[in-house]
Homo-oligomer: A and B are copies of this chain.
Amino acid sequence: MSFPISQQDIEKAHERISPFVHNTPILTSSSIDEIFGCRVYFKCENFQKIGAFKARGGLNAVLGIPEEIRQKGVVTHSSGNHAQAVAMAAKTCNVPAYIVMPSTAPEVKKKAVKGYGAQITFCEPTQIAREENAARIQEETGATFISPYNDYKVIEGQATSSKELFAEQENLNAVFTPVGGGGLLAGTSLSAHYFSPTTKVYAGEPANADDAHRSLKAGEIVKIPQPKSIADGLLTGIGDKNWGIIKELVDDIFTVTEDEIIEAMRLVWERMKIIIEPSCAVPVAALLKNRDQFTGQNVGVILSGGNVDLGRLPF
């Protein structure tokens, strides 16, 4: 089986972005291990630039645009971490960033995007309004569109997190990520395929937004209209580029309830003293729920991000 992204592509992406991102620490916790019945290695992308793994994909996409074209800027639509990632990457490359955000996006995220000097266009909180605004700006400015999740350069970038994890922990039986649009999961499964082929790949997904889970069962992309979950980073439907990789390389996708997400989030905050956002707690909840299947194993978990509004916590 050959894939649209090669081992060398991921290695090059890693070289490209390494000067600008953190090789994030891997943390363990004996009290978590006791509860889970396995040894868990947490790859802390919540400590990444912008507080999330999306810095990797955003940077790789923006750095990958030929210099001449890049000067015209980059454009994307996102309510969350991808907006910050593209804004940060554009600032790093000293080019304009045009970010379309739904007017309902949290103040803290609007502020962070502004902090990177991006030009924000607010729009109605619908997918169509977001896409139309981004398309219009693209036409007006000549800026390059960076998809939040369905882009091979973005996938390459996201793949570098687990590449680092596998380099440091050669003994992993399994690795877990969240799945929303599928960029992190696709990238992680490619990294496992190339750099740690005996490691099985799993994802956690909110039961309330379980299109990836259903797609894997059905063997084709299943769409869910307007899913709602506290895991606000995982509401996007799976992208077709990601799907092509995920359907071949992912072993299983486990769903978890809203309560299980909040419980896992709280567990990590209390036991590990680190801040993770609800979306990031989803694979933790998935591993906890299915821990009998992993007893005694070495399991990696990509902690995807830590951007939470401290004034609006679920506990």
Contacts and interface: CB of A to CB of B under 8 A. Distances in A.
Nearest to A276: B273
Of A266, A310, A313, the most chain B CB neighbours within 10 A belong to: A310
A225 interface: no
A19 interface: no
A26 B266 CA distance: 24
A310 B306 contact: no
A272 B44 CA distance: 11
Nearest to A309: B270
Given A25-B25, A27-B47, A47-B27, A310 B274 contact: no
B47 A273 contact: yes
Interface in A12-40: 25, 27
A51 interface: yes
Contacts of A25: 25, 27
Contact of A269 (B27, B47, B272, B310): B310
B310 A273 contact: no
A46 interface: yes
Interface in A240-292: 266, 269-270, 272-276
A130 to B, nearest CB: 26
Contacts of A266: 310
Of A46, A269, A273, the most chain B CB neighbours within 10 A belong to: A273
Of A25, A46, A274, the most chain B CB neighbours within 10 A belong to: A274
Interface string A130-163: 0000000000000000000000000000000000
A310 B272 CA distance: 13
Contacts of A3: none
13 contacts: A25-B27, A27-B47, A46-B273, A47-B272, A47-B273, A51-B273, A269-B275, A273-B274, A273-B275, A273-B276, A274-B275, A310-B315, A313-B313
The number of chain A residues touching the other chain, given as a range, is 10 to 19
A25 B24 CA distance: 12
Contact of A310 (B46, B51, B270, B276): B270
A229 to B, nearest CB: 21
Contacts of A27: 25, 47
B306 A315 contact: no
A311 interface: yes
Nearest to A315: B310
Interface in A294-315: 306, 310-311, 313, 315
Given A269-B275, A273-B46, A273-B275, A311 B306 contact: no
A253 to B, nearest CB: 26
Contacts of A270: 310
A313 B266 CA distance: 14
Nearest to A50: B31
Nearest to A265: B310
Nearest to A45: B273
